[in-house]
Amino acid sequence: MAGKSSKPIQVNVPDSSETLVWTANQTLLEALDQADISISHSCGGNGICGTCSVKVQSGLDILAPMEEVEKDIASDRGFGPNERLSCQTRRLEQPASSELTIEIVSTN
Ligand code: FES
């Protein structure tokens, strides 16, 4: 039985005037990196450093819920409700919305 292909998600990064497409098999960090958008990821995407965090301005409903690794960092660092760790963030296959807008918290 053929599955439905996942919905393309457009990601807007107003600070860099960039727009990219996020496919279902990537983390948000991988999608940003593929589009050459500068974002810190000191631990290489292993959910340790916390430098890859982003603030979601719109489209939170596109994101899959946090898993344990991200929950631990979010609680250690006091993340706000719209803050996510991009290396640990995955999107839903078929979210209701198709557009996500994020602010990159740190780029150094
Ligand atoms: S790159 Fe280190 S926590 Fe995401």
50 occurs within a structural domain: no
Q: Please write the tens of the pLDDT for every residue from 29-50.
A: 999 999 999 999 999 999 999 9
30 occurs within a structural domain: no
Number of separate domains in the chain: 1
55 occurs within a structural domain: no
The more confidently predicted of residues 2 and 57 is 57
Ligand 1 center to 3 CA (angstroms): 32
Ligand 1 center to 26 CA (angstroms): 15
- For the CA of 86, the closest atom of ligand 1 is 4
Please give the residue range of the domain that contains residue 70.
62-108
106 occurs within a structural domain: yes
75 occurs within a structural domain: yes
Ligand 1 center to 95 CA (angstroms): 24
The H-assigned helical ranges of the chain are: 28-34, 68-77
Grade residue 2 by pLDDT with cuts at 50, 70 and 90: very low
CA dist 17 and 40 (Å) reads: 18
- For the CA of 48, the closest atom of ligand 1 is 3
Q: Please write the tens of the pLDDT for every residue from 63-107.
A: 999 999 999 999 999 999 999 999 999 999 999 999 999 999 875
7 occurs within a structural domain: no
95 occurs within a structural domain: yes
